[in-house]
Chains A and B, each alone.
Chain A
């Protein structure tokens, strides 16, 4: 196991609702990145948090937002859910930013929007 845990593992939401996904990073890691993986595709970068600040963002709208806490755990929030937001959401932690070769992924949260 990687030491990166995500919760919940699965959830179902209705279009228009809001959702919060959680990630606990590996001990000693101060950087958390979030990815969206649609069915049959590779993960796509949403954003990264380093020491509680957003440290880079992919091509996702502002209704995707995040937080990182002093213990370096992180949340991904998605507002006004759309059907296309249905995907596996992955978080990855690394010892610091710029060390992507040493990033460890959690098992993901499967979000279904109906």
Chain B
């Protein structure tokens, strides 16, 4: 994904609403895609992954959708909570490196 410099896209939602965070990727050969959550002052934390041969995977309160035709990923968070406030990154996996997209800041309003 492209760098957005100092200005991360921000998604602001009300507590209890569902959140959808989007990501475009570039390498159609990637085997896995991962969503990470990064809270202030911490490293990225694994949320959920999806293999390239799947189009949907569900976890606890989270769902990832993969559209390989348009090279697009989305992360859906159900019943968003204040603790979900963070920056979210999608990443493509290679044999060695993770390639991160530009992040989205999720702000949860009480």
Contacts and interface: CB of A to CB of B under 8 A. Distances in A.
A103 interface: yes
Nearest to B49: A101
Given A42-B89, A100-B97, A105 B102 contact: no
A43 B32 contact: no
Nearest to A108: B43
Given A90-B44, A107-B41, A43 B100 contact: yes
B98 interface: yes
A69 B69 CA distance: 43
A88 to B, nearest CB: 8
Contacts of A48: 96-97
Contacts of A107: 41-43
Nearest to A6: B43
Contact of B43 (A42, A98, A105): A105
How many chain A residues sit at the interface, stated as a range, is 20 to 34
Contacts of A44: 100
A58 B4 CA distance: 20
B23 to A, nearest CB: 10
B58 interface: no
Given A44-B100, A107-B42, A108-B42, A100 B5 contact: no
B108 interface: no
Nearest to B98: A100
Interface in A22-72: 33, 35, 39-45, 48, 55-56, 58
Interface of B: 1, 3-8, 32, 34, 41-46, 49, 89, 91, 93-103
